Amino acid sequence: MTICVVDGRGGGLGSRMVAGLRGLADDGHAIIGLGLNSASAEAMARAGATFTETAPQMIHRRLYAADVIVGSLSLLMPGSMFGEVTPVLAQAVLESSARKVLLPLNKRKVEVVGAEGRTLDALIDHALQRCASLLRATA
């Protein structure tokens, strides 16, 4: 299974997700860090990503080939992450046949009903649990 973790800015969320997934995934799974900038790619590489990409064309290719895409809900909002999420990237995430595991972070004043009151740690734990269940389902 190929899991693509997408993050921008400093890569804090992405690196935490990669580290958590490394503990869940056996050696047969690829955990690819798709950095929307070099800092986020480097953070995911340090966390143990199988490999990383930063070139937009390669990111889009990886998204289309992924089994699971992990990141924040802002991946679907062009202009988010200080403009790192382009309309083309948001479209690639949506058009990918991969399962999307997106954390409802409220950075753009977008509220996802039912997700109120969770800390980032709780959201990451929940996302990792969901990824673990997806990994078990393919075993």
Distance CA 74, CA 28 (A): 29
**Any idea where the domains of the chain sit in the sequence?**
2-138
How many CA atoms within 13 Å lie on the side-chain side of 135?
20
Q: For residues 52 and 29, which has the higher predicted lDDT (pLDDT)? A: 52
> What type of residue sits at position 6?
V
Distance CA 102, CA 73 (A): 5
pLDDT score at 106: 63
**Residue 119 predicted with pLDDT over 90:** no
**Residue 107 predicted with pLDDT over 70:** no
| Domain 2-138 is found in CATH 1.10.3130 | no
103 burial level (CB within 10 Å; 0-12, 13-18, 19+):
buried
Q: pLDDT tier at 104 (50, 70, 90 boundaries)?
A: confident
pLDDT score at 139: 64
pLDDT score at 120: 86
The model's pLDDT over 2-51, given as tens digits with 9 standing for 90+, comes to 999 999 999 999 999 999 998 876 667 899 999 999 999 999 999 999 99
> What type of residue sits at position 76?
L
> What type of residue sits at position 118?
R
**Residue 93 predicted with pLDDT over 70:** yes
